[in-house]
Every structure is written in C-alpha cells, then in structure tokens.
Amino acid sequence: MKENSTYHVPVLLMESVGGLSVRSGGIYVDATFGSGGHSRMILEQLKGKGHLYSFDHDEAAEKNAFSDPSFTFVRGNFRYLSNYMDWYGVTEIDGILVDLGVSWHHFDDENRGFSFRKNANLDMRMNNRAGITAKEILNSYSEKDLANILFYYGELENSKAIARAIVKSREQKKIETTHDFLEILKPFFNKEKEKKHLAQAFQAIRIATNSELDALKEMLLQATELLKPGGRFVIISYHSREDILVKHFFKSGNFDGIVEKDFLYGNINMPFRAINTKVIVPSEEEIKLNPRSRSAKLRIVEKNGRRK
C-alpha cells in the first residue's frame, strides 16, 4: 500500500490513530479517507482482524483505495453514515476517525475552483457528481444569504458590502470563474492581509457549496448512536465553526454545549469522557513540514457506558 503523498499529507497521524486505541478484531470507520494515510495505519493495527470502512465522496479519493480483505471503501458522504453501515450489516462500531481538512488535491486541481491562486471554473463541490456549484450560489443567492455565508463561514466583517458587490457584478456579467470572483473581492482587502481574507472568502463559499457544517452535525449524531460504550471518537478540525460544534457536542451531546440533567434525579447526562482535556495541535516540526496543518485541532473522546 503505497501512499499518494501528492494527494494529501495525513495531519496529526500518530496522535489521532493513537487516540482511536484500535483493538484487533474491532470495527472502525475512517469518515474522511482522502489519500488513505489514517486508514493505512488503522489497518496495520487491526492486523488482518476486524474491519475498516473508509468514506469519501470524491472520485479521486476512490483511486487511492486499498485491496485488503479487512477494508471497504465507501463512495459516499459521511452524513449518510448510518445508511451505509446498515447496508453493510454493521450495527455497532468500536471507533471513528474524522479529518475535516480539505485535501491538497482539491486546492491543486485546476478544474475544481477551490483556490483563488488558479483561474478555474467555480465548482467547489467535493462530490462533482451531485449538488449545487459555487457558481450557482454566487449567481442566484440573495444578497442577505451571501452576506450571512461570508460572515458566518468566512468570518469577514465586511460581508454585507462584499455581498452587495457580488449582486451588482452579476447583474452586469455572470460570475463564472475564480478570476471573476477574485476581481469582485480584491477592492475590499488591503495588500497586507489580502491572501488571508481571500482564502476566507473562498472557504466560506466552499463550506456553503458542500453544506459542510450540516453534514458534520448529521454525522456526529449518527456516529454517537453507532459507537459502542467505550468506543473512541476522534476528530481533527480546522475551521473555528467546526471546532466549536465538535467541542460543544463532545462536552454535552448537543450543539449548544449545554449539559443536560436527568429530570427526576438531577444526574448530569454526559455521553462522552474526554481523553485529551486540552486540545491537541501539530508540533512546530509538523507545521514546518506541512504548513496546511497549522490550524488543525484534535479532540478525542470515549463513549460512556460499560464496554461489552
């Protein structure tokens, strides 16, 4: 199993797979296969026993799939985790690992439109077989909706002004390419922080295009149901909104982060036990080798209850 390092470098590899605490013979899920770096290490620790199901809805990722009797590649979005596990007859899993980072492949692919550095068609879909494109969002969403996307997902303070400019521009000419979008954005940012803010704007549209936060919420709920008591949940996040969702859910089992109490006895309902009380981040050495790992945050929890 040769690793395709040009596709994606696995972030926090040792820390995340170590946190999964793989047991020989267990059933595990890698919800974000990519180039297979995390999956490869999980398979090695399974030692030919148990099974690993790895998800990815990108056709390029499927080309990296392994030929191994203990491995199944699932061409699908992790938001449909329960449906796929039911299809394969799996009712419980021992652990799940999720790396929410976007693969290098997506940014480097000139035909996908993920990066402002290359002029390309504004697609931005992780799964180019289905769903609305970034181009359709920019040309059809209301000014208010665009402003909300840029503010909530891109954390841009001038989101309303940018949304107004997008609507004005598309009235004159349809927004087709990353260059078209770039020309609208550039007047709003000074040279000092231009690249950072442009990346935030492109990130916002990408998140909206792929409904990434909604998919994350759906997966979190389904994975919790599938996890055995004592099973591990390992997530690497990169965006502040993602990390807040994960942090709140791991703390309380809901997306508001409010710990609920039993109505009759007042017992605190804690679905998980934190394995790392402090968020794990990449070392300076890893960041130097892989600058795209800089914003990664790793959280590991174990489902409460007695292991069967």
Residue 2 has pLDDT above 70, yes or no: no
Taking CA atoms, 33 is separated from 16, 58, 130, in Å, by 14, 9, 19
Nearest to 115, CA basis, from 184, 187, 179 = 179
Q: What is the DSSP letter of 34?
A: T
CATH superfamily of the 13-104+212-303 domain: Vaccinia Virus protein VP39 (3.40.50.150)
- C-alpha neighbours within 13 Å on the C-beta side of residue 46: 23
Nearest to 220, CA basis, from 265, 263, 253, 174 = 253
**54 is written with which tokens?**
């790895």
What is the bridge-based pairing of β-strands 93-99 and 227-237? parallel
Its pTM stands at: 0.89
70-85 pLDDT, tens digit each: 999 999 999 999 999 9
**pLDDT score, position 238:** 93
- Quote the CA–CA distance of 46 and 42 in Å, as a whole number: 6
Q: Select the more confidently predicted residue: 119 or 153.
A: 153
* 3-class secondary structure, 234: strand
- Quote the CA–CA distance of 56 and 75 in Å, as a whole number: 5
* Residue ranges covered by each domain of the chain: 13-104+212-303, 128-209
Topology (CATH level 3) of domain 128-209: DNA polymerase; domain 1 (1.10.150)
Nearest to 141, CA basis, from 124, 159, 156, 163 = 163
254-303 pLDDT, tens digit each: 998 888 776 666 667 789 999 998 999 999 999 999 888 999 999 999 99
Amino acid in the structure at residue 157: E
